[in-house]
Amino acid sequence: MYKTAFLFPGQGAQYVGMAKDFYEQVEESKEVFERANKVLDFDVIKMCFEENEELNQTEYTQAAMVTACVSILEAVKKKGIKADITAGLSLGEYAALVANDVLSFEDAVALVRKRGIYMSNEVPNGEGSMAAILGLDVETIERICKEVEDETNMCVQPANYNCPGQIVISGKKEAVLAACDRLKEAGAKRALELKVSGPFHSALLKGAGDKLSEELKNVVVNPMTIPYVCNAKAEIVLDVSQTKELLEKQVYSPVRWQQTMELMIANGVTTFVEIGPGKTLSGFLKKIDKTVTVINIEKMEDLEKLEGIVC
């Protein structure tokens, strides 16, 4: 049974200024940014703290987000707070693997730099799309996506099972738009095309997963200090021999976040600490189970919320 979980957000939560107060006030947090700059081919400190357009480009976002999340994680650890289990939404899984010592921070940030490039380049800009489907049951969404896929011979599939009433679909732009029309006819409250650079977590990203697999061959995975729940299967991982394959599959497989949270709750987690920019995961959790304790750590003053947590 696990009591406390550390959660890490994914791409989309980034903003200029994220983790800046930790960088300025916590030496260990500052060191994370400095370590990142030694392995990256761009200045992640400038990227995160100075106004720019590149931060929202996938090839830069991913390394910047992992750096910011791990920087904040160091401040949480300094408070003496420890997790029993970890998880991260999509990109956030890499920060989760740093938190349980499976990946070194340097390897994680270098990997996601390449992951971002591979994901950006796999499908020509404008050919793929994603859409958030609100207020419709899972079975109907899965069925309609399959029908559109069969009729058009174009990819469209669920990509993120976020929380009850919110599923994201992904695939060829034409198929995604066709599915959106049918899903609204079937009763979806809204079907909103997202401003993203590609059809993430769909079969169209298989090539990016293959390229990432080659990079993973050169990465050392260490024995985990605590388990984590993987996105691709929503299963508790106790054996790191699976980790590289799971990270490869994660690129082109649905993110089973709701199932991940439900699994954690079923295994005794009562306190969830979201570490990183925004409150996206906290919002999802409140829709999944209102009885659990949810704490988000985004700013220095948020550390006060951790007082009283027994680890």
Sequence spans of domains, the chain: 4-122+204-306, 128-196
Chain mean pLDDT for the chain: 96
pLDDT category of residue 1 using cuts at 50, 70 and 90: confident
pLDDT value, residue 207? 98
How far is 264 from 104, CA to CA, in rounded Å?
A: 24
Q: What is the largest CA-CA distance in the chain?
A: 57
How far is 273 from 77, CA to CA, in rounded Å?
A: 12
4-122+204-306 sits in which CATH class?
alpha beta
Dump pLDDT digits (tens) for 245-275: 999 999 999 999 999 999 999 999 999 999 9
User: Of these residues, 120, 170, 197, 201, which one is catalytic?
Assistant: 201
Dump pLDDT digits (tens) for 110-164: 999 999 999 999 999 889 999 999 999 999 999 999 999 999 999 999 999 999 9
pLDDT value, residue 197? 82
Q: Are 160 and 91 in contact (CB under 8 A)?
A: no
- With a cut of 90, say whether residue 308 has pLDDT above it: no
- With a cut of 90, say whether residue 309 has pLDDT above it: no
- With a cut of 80, say whether residue 181 has pLDDT above it: yes
pTM: 0.96
Q: Given its phi and psi angles, is residue 193 left (phi above 0), alpha (psi -120 to 50 degrees) or beta?
A: beta
Average pLDDT score over residue span 236-246: 96
Tokens of 17: 């200024």
User: Of these residues, 29, 90, 129, 197, which one is catalytic?
Assistant: 90
The residues, any chain, with a CB within 8 Å of residue 222's CB and separated by 6 or more, are: 101, 102, 103, 104, 240
- With a cut of 60, say whether residue 39 has pLDDT above it: yes
pLDDT category of residue 311 using cuts at 50, 70 and 90: low
- With a cut of 60, say whether residue 310 has pLDDT above it: no
How far is 9 from 2, CA to CA, in rounded Å?
A: 20
The residues, any chain, with a CB within 8 Å of residue 162's CB and separated by 6 or more, are: 168, 257, 258, 284
- Calculated CA dihedral for residues 12, 15, 21, 22, nearest 10 degrees: 30
Tokens of 147: 């029908």
Average pLDDT score over residue span 65-74: 98
- The answer to whether domain 128-196 has CATH 3.30.70.250 is yes
Average pLDDT score over residue span 177-201: 95
201 assigned to active site: yes
pLDDT value, residue 128? 96
The residues, any chain, with a CB within 8 Å of residue 27's CB and separated by 6 or more, are: none
How far is 216 from 64, CA to CA, in rounded Å?
A: 20
pLDDT value, residue 96? 98
Tokens of 12: 């989309």
For a pLDDT cut of 90, what percent of the chain falls above it?
96
